[in-house]
Amino acid sequence: MSPDCIFCKIAGRQEPADIIYEDEEAIVFKDINPSAPIHLLVCPKEHYSTFLKTPPEVLPMLQDVIRKVAKQLEIDESGFRMIINNGRGGGQIIFHLHIHLLAGKRLGGF
Ligand code: 5GP
Ligand code: ZN
């Protein structure tokens, strides 16, 4: 728990969020400023500031969570996009690791 971190506070239920999935290690909630009809933030409950600072074993745990959530929301077949912004130059604003999960409209390719 990092005292000034909003996502730690959401994980600790000290700040509200629209939570759509939770287990012992992870929490998934709606982005407050969505970029797609479905825009979720998939977070470990443990605080890691960036992707590069995250222990590698956390990532398969988040992959399992995404698999479950995608099935729950029935976007496992239709498709979705995942984004991790790493560091300020990568567009990261909240320094608690999160994977953006976007779906619900046809997303263009790069
Ligand atoms: P980043 O740019 O760090 O990858 O993305 C941070 C995301 O968190 C942004 O899409 C932003 O809209 C979202 N966000 C920022 N503050 C809050 C908050 O207090 N609650 C929720 N649900 N989302 C937030
Ligand atoms: Zn945090």
pTM for this predicted structure: 0.97
pLDDT tens readout for residues 39-82: 999 999 999 999 999 999 999 999 999 999 999 999 999 999 99
For all residues of the chain together, what is the average pLDDT? 96
Alpha-carbon distance of 33 to 98, in angstroms, equals 15
> Listing from the earlier edge strand, what are the strands of the sheet with 19-22?
19-22, 26-30, 38-44, 99-103, 81-83
Q: Give residues (CB < 6 A) around ligand 1.
A: 6, 17, 29-33, 41, 85, 91-94
Pairing assessment for the beta strands 38-44 and 81-83 based on DSSP bridges: unpaired
Is the pLDDT at 109 greater than 90? The verdict is no
Cα dihedral: 54, 98, 9, 1 (round 10): 0
Ligand 1 atom closest to Cα of 94? Answer: 3
**Ligand 2 geometric centre to CA of 49 (Å):** 7
Among 1-10, 59-68, 91-100, the minimum mean pLDDT is found in 1-10
Distance CA 30, CA 108 (A): 21
